[in-house]
Amino acid sequence: MQTTLSPESRTSLATPLPEKHAVKLTINGTVHHLELAPWTSLLDALREYLHLTGTKKGCDHGQCGACTVLVDGKRINSCLTLAVMKDGSDITTIEGLADESGLHPLQTAFIEHDAYQCGYCTPGQICSAVGLMQEGRAKTADDIRELMSGNICRCGAYPHIVDAIQEVMQLDPNA
């Protein structure tokens, strides 16, 4: 026997959407209080709610690294992270790497080594490289290539990217 529900019954069985959640994020040194749907990615919170568009949406599946940011000093793919999961975290985007004295040394090295080509992947590449240097595991060019393998560059600027990272690591391994 088949049971048929009336439209009224189906409506009463529907689960209401969850309410928005208060999220506190410190981004590039500034505290932000947001009201976000629980499914809002950190990437979308940055781009759509805070208008920090330096972080790029590439594949939206965590495969390209264009959305890489630093959360509490560690590099992550912001497209795979829910903003509510990072409540209370300290987040650094490409916009937050430069300071009053000028560009971050990696930003300068990317310019000097022509490591940006079209530039779309550059913010994620630079944030990932900053995280890589803070991790302290990269000692050789091969290490850099392996540890940066989650960041895709369609233009193929990889040799220049590695050169830029190596230069900054030689100047200041903790940059």
Q: 105-171: CATH homologous superfamily?
A: [2Fe-2S]-binding domain (1.10.150.120)
Q: Is the pLDDT of residue 173 over 90?
A: no
Q: Look up residue 58 and give its two tokens.
A: 């590439």
Query: CA-CA-CA-CA torsion for 44, 78, 89, 168, nearest 10 degrees?
Result: -130
pTM confidence score? 0.88
For the chain, how many helices (H) and strands (E)? 6, 5
Q: What is the mean pLDDT of the chain?
A: 92
Assigned CATH class of 21-96: alpha beta
pLDDT at 127: 98
Give which of 28, 51, 60, 56 is closest to 116, Cα–Cα.
Answer: 56
pLDDT at 96: 98
C-beta separation of 159 from 165 below 8 A? no
Give which of 40, 151, 170 is closest to 105, Cα–Cα.
Answer: 170
| pLDDT tens-digit readout, 38-77 | 999 999 999 999 999 999 999 999 999 999 999 999 999 9
CATH 3.10.20.30 positions along the chain are 21-96
pLDDT at 16: 75
pLDDT at 17: 72
Mean pLDDT of the region 90-94:
98
What distance lies between CA 98 and its chain's CA centroid? 16
CATH 1.10.150.120 positions along the chain are 105-171
Residue type, 121: C
The model's confidence at residue 6, banded by pLDDT at 50, 70 and 90, is low
Q: Look up residue 3 and give its two tokens.
A: 């049971």
% of the chain at pLDDT higher than 90: 85
pLDDT at 172: 75
How many Å from the N-terminal Cα to the C-terminal Cα in the chain?
A: 70
